[in-house]
Structure 1
Amino acid sequence: MATDFTEETATAAVVESFEKTPDPRLREILGSLTRHLHDFVRDIEPTTQEWEQAIAFLTATGQTCDATRQEFILLSDVLGVSMLVETIAQRKAARKAATDSTVLGPFHVVDSPPRELGDSIDLLGTGEPCVVTGRVVSVDGMPLPGALVDVWQCNEDGFYDVQQPDLQPLGNGRGLFTTDAEGAFLFRTIVPSYYPIPTDGPVGDLLAASERHPYRPAHIHFIAGAEGHTPVTTHIFVAGSPYLESDAVFAVKKSLVEEFSVVHDPARAAAYGVANPFRLANFDIVLQSS
Structure 2
Amino acid sequence: MMKIKNVTVFGSGVLGAQIAFQTAYRGYQVTLFDIKDELLEQAKLKFAQFKEFYQQDLNAPPADLDDALTRIYFTTDLAESVKDADLTIEAIPENIQIKKEFYTRLGAVAPAKTIFCTNSSTLLPSQFAVETGRPGQFLALHFANYLWKNNVAEIMGHAGTDQEIFDQVVQFAKSIGMLAIPIYKEQPGYVMNSLLVPWLMAGLDLFRNGIADAASIDKTWMKTLGATLGPMAMSDLVGMNTAYNVIKSYAESTGDEVWKQRQDFMKENFIDKNKLGISSGEGFYKYPNPAYQDADFLK
Assess same fold via TM > 0.5: no
Point out which structure has higher relative CO (alpha carbons under 8 A, 6+ apart).
Answer: 1
TM-score in terms of structure 1 length = 0.24
Q: Greater helix share, 1 or 2?
A: 2
TM-score w.r.t. length of structure 2: 0.23
More strand by share: 1
Please identify the structure whose Cα radius of gyration is greater: 1
